[in-house]
Each structure stands twice: as structure tokens, then as C-alpha cells.
Structure 1
Amino acid sequence: MMPLKVEGLQTFYGKSHILHNVGLTVNEGEIVVLLGRNGAGKTTTLRSIMGLTPPRDGHVKLFGIDATRMSPYQVAGLGVGYVPEGRKIFANLTVEDNLRVPVARPGPWDTKRVFQTFPRLAERRDNRGRQLSGGEQEMLSIARALLLNPKLLLLDEPSQGLAPLIVKEVFQIIQTMRKEGISVLLVEQNVRVSLGIADRAYVLDDGAIIYNGSAAELANDEERVRSMAGASAKEWAIGDHESAMR
């Protein structure tokens, strides 16, 4: 059963029309990356899938179930883990207490396994959230989501503000998730690193999908990768035309 199928999402914040007919899929065991400049609608897409900002129109199917109007709690109950931008850990709770917050679902991930996968968290299990580095906070945020034993993991900007070595470590953890059979939808500004681990890529511009295809093919298009931060639908359309002419 396909973990995620999104069709025709139209999402608004008040009167502001943010997502325009957004559609995407995540197959079983895939890492799919959603790219685009700031304000393109990437976080809104994740929030629409999770039921935090319900779409006005369109459909979200999770494991074949229509989840379009479900609450975030119900979406999580289907087996979806969500790691929001900015980590959102509890600053005054210890690492161990942060890990006790989620209501654990049956499955292979428990606190013991989390500490085996994230030895740095095991070393700092008695430290409060505010005492952790940015990378450790990101690891804690991912670890907390894993305790739900998700079949699909949504990650919003996991590399934001992290040093390059820590970014590499976080992305290795994401690759481990795929090996564990967890499908991943990754929103990320670090274009090159994310394309390096993803199977497929989508690019959003002004709330609309302007690219859908192989991550490896996109990674090999130097011009597109360099211009990703400021990509516009017009520029990408010109690029498609030029590619067709070559």
C-alpha cells in the first residue's frame, strides 16, 4: 500500500492562497525530497498532510486511507511521524523525559534502541533539552518521532543551522530509516546533500510543483541546482525547453 498520495491540494492561510493543486507521492521504502526557496510552500505541504493546516480542496491518502480531514492525532495514529522545523523539543525536560512524551506505538523502536542508534543522546540522557547542541536537539526530535514506530516519516529542514559534519550525521540517520523500511518525505534547503540520499525529488515554486522526477537526474543538472534558491516557474520552463532542444 502506497504510504502517501497527495492530490490537488489547495491550502489557504486566511485569504492567502498558499498551495496550488499540489500533488506528490511517496512509495514504500523511498526517500522523497521536497525542495524550493523560502516561502515556496514546503512547510505548508507537510502541515496539510499532518492535518495541522487542513487543505480547502484536494485529498491526502495515507496507506490507502483518506486522511484529508483527520486531526494530527489521528494522522499520527496511522503511522506517520512528524519532525517539525525548529525541533520543538522541551527545553526544561531531560533527554530521557523528552523521550517519554510520545505515546509509544507497538514496534521495534523503544528507548533502548533509540539510545543505541543515537549514542550521543545516551551520553546526555540526563541533560536538559536547552543544554544540547543544535545537532543533538535534531537527533532528539527524530528519536522522539521514531518512538511512534512510524511507517512514514515527515522531516522539515533537519539540517537547518547545523555544522556540515553534523549535517552528514543526521542524513546518515535518515538513510538508516529507509533501511529500516520507513518511507521518508524530506523538506530541505540543503539541495546537494538531500539529492544525494533521495530517490525522487519535487520542487515547489510559489505553491505549485514545477519539477517531479529522479533525484539523481536533478543532481546532475548543475545549472538548476545552483539556481534552486531562486527558482521560478518561468526559469524552470525555459530550462525544460532548452533541455528538449539539446
Structure 2
Amino acid sequence: MSVLVAEGLQTWYGKSHILHGVSVAVNDGEIVALLGRNGAGKTTTLRSLVGLTRPREGRVTIGGRDTTSWPPYMIAALGVGYVPEGRRVFANLSVEENLLVPNGRTGPWTLDRVYGLFPRLRERRRSRGRQLSGGEQEMLAIARALLLNPHILLLDEPSQGLAPLIVREVFAIVSGMRREGMSVLLVEQNVRAAVEIADVACVLDDGRVAFSGSARDFAGDDERVRKLAGASSADWGKGGSSEN
């Protein structure tokens, strides 16, 4: 069953046409990796899904409800957690104060459980957000989203600026979300790390879906993975990919 479905999204920033008919779906307990070069439209896709940048055309359905024109707070209340690029933690609040900011939904994710998943945050619960390392800030941003008890988690570039060891730790946590029955839509520049944990890979090129299919099949095609930094819709259209 699909938790989230986007169909034919046409999104603009002013006079700039960013998304050209983007479609993506995330099913129950599934991790979908949304990949592509810088400027391909990945972040705009997430913003269109959560109501921050409303598409001019197309349709977004979450939990069977048409949320295309809904404001962000109503979409979040449906059980959509969003961790934006750059983490956006409150620099002058402590870790615990950051975690208590969301008006969470009832569910299995509590402060104690989050601290169990991220013991480093428990250790640093009185530290200010600005005093945390990049990896700790990313953990805090994910933990804060989990306290909303979401059905689906949208992550924008969780590995950005992190050391390789911390990247592995963060991706292990994201993979664990699937075991909890949570769905994840993951925007990521670290292609190989993303497809290792994803079920589905969706590649954007200049605001269009250039490939959508099995992450395992995608990861097994070294040429495609290498070409991702310079993907073109014409090239990706070959070999069983889908194009919109």
C-alpha cells in the first residue's frame, strides 16, 4: 500500500520552472532514494510534498488523502516527518529543549526511546545546538522528527558534511526505520550509501524523472552509478528506465 504518491508535479519558483511532471511513490515500510545532481530538483520535490512550495499542477496523496493544497502543519499532522537540508536545529536551545519543541503525535517514539536510539544525545542533552558536531546535529534533527511519530520520514541530504564513519552510523539508523515499519523518502548525494539501504531508486535530471526502479538493480550497474553526476534523460531512458 502506498503511503505517499506524487503524480505529475509541476513546480515553479517565480518564473523558474523546476519540476516537470515528477512522479514518485513510497510504499509501507519502504525506503526510496531520490537521487540526482545538484539542481536536479530533489529538494524542490520534498518541499512540494510537504506543502512548503506548492506545485502549480499535479497531485500529492498521503495516506489516501489529497494533500496537494494543504499547508505544512496539516501535512505534518498526518504523520509526515521532514528533516530539511542543513538540519535546522535551534542553536541556542539545549538538545533536550530542541527535542521538546515538536508537538508530537502519540505513538511509540518517546524521549526515552529516542535517547536509547541516540545515546550520544542523552550524553549531550544539556549542550546547546551550536555546540554539537555536524553528526550530532543530524542525529538531533532525525530524533526531533521521530518524536512526531511519523508514518513516513522525508530526509534531505542527511550525510552532507559528515565524516564517513558518522555517515555509516546515520545510514544504519535510517535503515532501522524500515524495520520499525516506517517509510522513508531519502534525498542523498552519496549515491552508493543510499542505494545500499534503499528498496527503490528514483533519479531526477533537470526536474524530470530519468530513472525509477529497483535500487539493487541500479546499484549493480556501475556505469549508471558513475554517470549519475552527469545524468541526462536521453541516456537514462535506455535499458528499462521510466521517463516522465
State whether TM-score is above 0.5.
yes
Alignment of 1:72-221 (within 5 A): 72-221=72-221
SS of the residue aligned with 1:10?
Answer: strand
| Per-residue deviation, residues 155-199 of structure 1 (Å, max 9, x unmatched) | 000000000000000000001111111100000000001000000
Q: Which residue of 1 aligns with 2:230?
A: 230
1:234 Cα offset (Å):
2.4
Q: Which residue of 1 aligns with 2:14?
A: 14
Query: 2-side partners of 1:182 and 1:46: how far apart?
Result: 17
Query: 1-side partners of 2:77 and 2:2: how far apart?
Result: 17
Specify the code of the residue in structure 2 equivalent to 1:240.
Answer: G
State how many pairs are aligned: 241
Specify the code of the residue in structure 2 equivalent to 1:218.
Answer: F
Query: 2-side partners of 1:219 and 1:51: how far apart?
Result: 31
Q: Which residue of 2 aligns with 1:240?
A: 239
1:233 Cα offset (Å):
1.2
SS of the residue aligned with 2:239?
Answer: helix
1:240 Cα offset (Å):
2.7
Identity between Structure 1 and Structure 2 (%): 67
Query: 2-side partners of 1:125 and 1:209: how far apart?
Result: 41
Query: 2-side partners of 1:55 and 1:123: how far apart?
Result: 42
Structure 1: gaps (5+ residues): none
SS of the residue aligned with 2:25?
Answer: strand
Query: 1-side partners of 2:239 and 2:178: how far apart?
Result: 31
TM-score (norm 1): 0.96
| Per-residue deviation, residues 29-71 of structure 1 (Å, max 9, x unmatched) | 0000000000000000000000000000000000100000000
| Per-residue deviation, residues 199-228 of structure 1 (Å, max 9, x unmatched) | 011000000001010000000100111111
Query: 2-side partners of 1:234 and 1:221: how far apart?
Result: 17
1:104 Cα offset (Å):
1.3
Root-mean-square deviation over aligned CA pairs: 1.1
Query: 2-side partners of 1:231 and 1:147: how far apart?
Result: 37
Per mean C-alpha deviation after superposition, the further-off stretch among 93-102 and 223-232 is 223-232
1:123 Cα offset (Å):
0.5
Q: Which residue of 1 aligns with 2:39?
A: 39
Specify the code of the residue in structure 2 equivalent to 1:165.
Answer: L
Specify the code of the residue in structure 1 equivalent to 2:185.
Answer: L
1:91 Cα offset (Å):
0.6
SS of the residue aligned with 1:25?
Answer: strand
Specify the code of the residue in structure 2 equivalent to 1:23.
Answer: S
Specify the code of the residue in structure 2 equivalent to 1:233.
Answer: S
Query: 2-side partners of 1:131 and 1:228: how far apart?
Result: 35
Query: 2-side partners of 1:25 and 1:234: how far apart?
Result: 22
Specify the code of the residue in structure 1 equivalent to 2:18.
Answer: I
SS of the residue aligned with 1:227?
Answer: helix
